[in-house]
């Protein structure tokens, strides 16, 4: 195998819709969620090396980089090990992660990193695994990884989140995302969820994306985990309300939080909304778009 170094983008997602349809016997929850890929990315450099280990170094935002585990709990290393086990390849890989996507943010940075490594190693090894085999590995590693393996702009994800039905939005959608200093631990948020009687469908969000309709989208965004997450993270609950107030439009939480977002008409509208949100002094705020 040639000694190459290649850089792969590892994008963050946003959940524009998330409904929990029930608790499963395996402890996970049955979901219906609409995810979009964004242009906000970590960068991962992968090179083949003469040793036969997988080595990971982390750079990027220093405050984030120090918090990324580099032991076997790291999803990148688990993905690389799963890939080696599935292919029988003992190639050595040097992996450098430039970390920019915050953790415990509902943006699936770690899941995206794992998917990017599966796709990257498969590409560098001349594609020994088919897409369905990569999906099997992804599902064995977590619930959000399949969305990124599918490599699509948008999808309705069901099951644990690992069943991905992709579709193409008719336009580019812009968002202002912001989060407080404290993140949310996904298991804790699911653990706080109370039984519910009503159910919301993702069809309005999907229709809005397919129609390219900002107005329809901003009135359809929904996340069932908002209430339990707000109980655990009062600062986030405040930020959500304040974003709605200063932007004059609905705000929602992505995944299990703590990132919140508002939908924007275009780049100019997003820039204007970012200024309003920055006045709230969140720990993190930026404009992202579907990509």
Which residue numbers are catalytic? 13, 144
Phi, psi of 240 (to 5 degrees): -60, -45
Among residues 61, 190, 269, 278, which is the contact residue for ligand C5P, using CB under 6 A? 190
Q: To 10 degrees, what angle do helices 234-247 and 267-278 make?
A: 130
Q: Is 21 in the site for ligand C5P (CB under 6 A)?
A: no
**Is 113 near ligand C5P (CB under 6 A)?**
no
Stretch of 136-144, 163-171, 213-221, 277-285 contacting ligand C5P, by CB under 6 A: 136-144
Query: Applying CB under 6 A, does 289 fall inside the site for ligand C5P?
Result: no
Residues 6+ apart with CB under 8 A from 188: 232
User: Minimum distance from CB of 231 to ligand C5P (Å)?
Assistant: 16
CB of 180 vs ligand C5P, minimal distance in Å: 20
Cα-to-chain-centroid distance, residue 231:
22
In angstroms, give the least distance from the CB of 267 to ligand C5P.
31
Task: Count CA atoms within 13 Å of residue 26 on its CB side.
Answer: 6
Residue 143 near ligand C5P by CB under 6 A: yes
SS3 56: strand
Pick from 273, 259, 247, 248: which is nearest to 223 by CA? Answer: 259
**Does the protein bind ligand C5P through residue 33 (CB under 6 A)?**
no
Among 11, 102, 109, 142, binds ligand C5P (CB under 6 A): 142
Question: ∠ CA(68), CA(141), CA(192), 5° rounding?
Answer: 75
Pick the stretch among 9-17, 55-63, 176-184, 185-193 that binds ligand C5P (CB under 6 A).
Answer: 185-193
Residue 213, Cβ density class (10 Å: 0-12 exposed, 13-18 middle, ≥19 buried): middle
Nearer to ligand C5P, 28 or 167 (CB): 28
167 touching ligand C5P, by CB under 6 A: no
Residues 6+ apart with CB under 8 A from 212: 169, 170, 171
The Cα–Cα gap between 186 and 115 comes to: 19
As a whole number of angstroms, the distance between CA 244 and CA 123 comes to 43
For residue 201, the minimal CB distance to ligand C5P (Å) is: 18
Query: Least CB distance from residue 159 to ligand C5P, whole Å?
Result: 8
What's the min distance (Å) between Cβ of 250 and ligand C5P? Answer: 24
Q: Which stretch binds ligand C5P (CB under 6 A): 3-11, 65-73, 141-149, 245-253?
A: 141-149
Q: How many residues bind ligand C5P (CB under 6 A)?
A: 11
Q: Is 31 in the site for ligand C5P (CB under 6 A)?
A: yes
Q: Does 160 bind ligand C5P (CB under 6 A)?
A: yes
Facing residues of 23 across strands? 29
What is the rounded CA–CA span in Å between residue 250 and residue 235? 18
Under the criterion CB under 6 A, does residue 144 sit at the interface with ligand C5P?
A: yes
Contacts to ligand C5P by CB under 6 A: 28-29, 31, 142-144, 160-161, 186-187, 190
């Amino acid at each position: 195998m040639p000694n190459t170094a290649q850089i792969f983008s590892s994008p963050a997602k946003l959940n524009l819709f998330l409904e929990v349809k029930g608790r499963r016997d395996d402890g996970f929850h049955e979901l219906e969620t609409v995810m979009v890929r964004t242009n906000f990315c970590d960068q991962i450099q992968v090179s083949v090396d003469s040793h036969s280990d997988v080595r990971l170094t982390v750079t990027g935002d220093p405050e984030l980089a120090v918090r990324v585990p580099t032991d076997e709990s790291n999803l990148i290393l688990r993905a690389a090990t799963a890939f080696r086990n599935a292919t029988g390849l003992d190639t050595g890989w040097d992996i450098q992660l430039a970390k920019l996507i915050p953790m415990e943010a509902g943006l699936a940075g770690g899941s995206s990193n794992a998917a990017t490594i599966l796709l990257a190693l498969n590409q560098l090894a001349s594609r020994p695994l088919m897409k369905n085999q990569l999906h099997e590995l992804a599902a064995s590693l977590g619930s959000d990884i399949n969305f990124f393996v599918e490599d699509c702009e948008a999808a309705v994800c069901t099951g644990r989140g690992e069943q991905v039905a992709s579709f193409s939005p008719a336009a580019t959608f812009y968002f202002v995302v912001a989060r407080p200093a404290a993140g949310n631990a996904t298991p804790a948020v699911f653990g706080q969820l109370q039984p519910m009687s009503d159910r919301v469908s993702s069809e309005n969000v999907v229709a809005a994306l397919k129609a390219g309709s900002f107005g329809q989208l901003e009135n359809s965004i929904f996340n069932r985990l908002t209430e339990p997450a707000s109980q655990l993270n009062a600062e986030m609950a405040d930020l959500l309300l304040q974003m709605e107030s200063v932007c004059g439009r609905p705000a929602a939480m992505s995944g299990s939080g703590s990132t919140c977002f508002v939908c924007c008409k275009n780049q100019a509208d997003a820039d204007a909304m970012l200024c309003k949100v920055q006045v709230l002094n969140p720990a993190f705020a930026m404009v992202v778009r579907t990509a």
